[in-house]
Structure 1
Amino acid sequence: MRDDNDPTTMQQLLDQIRASSEGLEHVPVANILEAVGERSFGPVVLLAGLITIAPLIGDIPGVPTLLGMVVVLTLGQLLFRRHSIWLPGWISGRQVPRGKLVKGVDWLQRPARFLDRITKPRLTCLVNGPGLYVMALICIAVALAMPAMELVPFSANGGGAALMAFGLAIVVRDGLVALIATTITGLTLWFITSSLIL
């Protein structure tokens, strides 16, 4: 499910997002999606996770649930073996002010360089073939739990971290990151369940 133009590192992903904003005052979501590769399921999940854990943005009521819907729509298409991502017009037509987009990309440069140094293709059986579909199912489970996460303080941050890690694992083909993401998912779901029961 990877195109030759799809990013293979965090740095490439950020560079392509920045390039999508050139010459525009407001950047449509469709432009960002096209820039990172229309078959790039990983970057979409990664971005959803990043936005969910971002200070101020991810704390806005309804945002985690909206991002969960994007993840379900995106990875649902992966499970049905679509070769490109389709999003409804009301999502793909949304626009982001270029200034905020560039500021966010600049802020992420240092973490991206760090992640690129410690990630690499390994345990690729966990992120290719059947392993990719298992990850997609886990991500969908996290996304479907987002409404409940909005009721439990700080749990959406765990869900966002899990989605970010899964997206990163898909982008860089790192099975170790996929295992870490699975652990984060388990801990987050346990925390939500415990909080709701108590």
Structure 2
Amino acid sequence: MDGDETITGLMGRIQAVAEQGERTRLRDVIDALGRDSFIPQLMIPALAVVSPLSGVPLFSSLCGITIALVSAQMLAQRQRIWLPRWLLEKEIDSERLLSAAARMKRPAGWLDRITRNRLRVLVWPPVLWIAQALCLACGLMMPFLELVPFTSSILGAVVLLLSFGMLARDGLFTLLGFVVIGGLGIGVTMFVNGGTV
């Protein structure tokens, strides 16, 4: 990766948009990322769910819906992204957005530095389609898990790992995403079954 094809570059674009007013619309963020940039538009709500913004009521649901819509269009292999107008017009306080972006810059820089061309088979079809389907499932689950502590952040971390693997063509991140979602699935199964898988 180089230039703006990094998480650090994406954070910079978001900060530039948030500095333009007291409130920031989702439409403005998407326009800044580029209308054909599906993966960045998948990563940004995932990053937001992992950040302190996840504590804002209904924010995780909003991000989950966005993740689901973007993932579905990636699976459908659309050339241009579409989001409903009501979602594009949703606003968030710009100070909160700037604060979250600033907090994410250090881990974003670390992720950018450790990227390598590894396990390439995990970032090409058919495994790529599995990763996109998992992102879709995580997004769909977020609104239903809004009141369960940490679950949206865990799902956001899974989407972030999978999408970063797609962006960087680094299958190690895809593998880590599979491991995290697998661990979450085992944990939920054990909880439901009273401690046994």
Provide the C-alpha distance between the structure 2 equivalents of 1:169 and 1:144, rounded to a whole number of angstroms: 21
Give the total of aligned pairs.
Answer: 193
Once the two structures are superposed, what CA deviation does each residue of 1:39-64 show, in whole Å capped at 9, x if it has no partner?
22222222222222223x32455443
Q: Distance in 1 between matches of 2:165 and 2:100?
A: 21
Please report how far the alpha carbon of residue 152 of structure 1 lies from its aligned counterpart in structure 2 after TM superposition. 4.5
TM-score with structure 1 setting the length:
0.84
For 2:77, the equivalent position in structure 1 comes to 81
Find the counterpart in structure 1 of residue 20 from structure 2.
Answer: 23
Distance between the aligned counterparts of 1:147 and 1:194, measured in 2? Answer: 23
1:37 aligns to 2:34 (yes or no) = yes
Closer/same/farther in 2, CA of residues 53 and 105 from structure 1, 3 Å limit: closer
Does structure 2 retain, via aligned residues, the 8 Å contact 1:155–1:192? no
1:171 maps onto 2:167 in alignment: yes
For 2:158, the equivalent position in structure 1 comes to 162
Secondary structure of the corresponding residue to residue 85 of structure 1 = coil
- For 2:4 and 2:79, locate their aligned partners in 1 and report how far apart those are by CA, in whole Å: 16
Residues 1-198 of structure 1 mapped to structure 2, 5 A cutoff:
7-55=4-52, 57-60=53-56, 62-147=58-143, 149-150=145-146, 152-198=148-194
Rounded to whole Å, the distance in 1 between the matches of 2:136 and 2:106 is 29
User: Which residue identity lines up with residue 104 of structure 1 in the other structure?
Assistant: A
Unaligned runs of 5+ in 2: none
How far apart, CA to CA, are the structure 2 residues paired with 1:90 and 1:131?
A: 33
Contact residue 46 and residue 159 of structure 2 kept, 8 A: yes
| Contact 1:7–1:36 (Cα < 8 Å) also in 2 | no
* Aligned residues: CA RMSD: 2.4
Give 1:124's aligned amino acid.
R
Q: CA deviation at 1:6?
A: 9.0
SS in 1 for 2:92: strand
- Give distance in 2, aligned partners of 1:32 and 1:116: 21
TM-score for the superposition, normalised by structure 2: 0.84
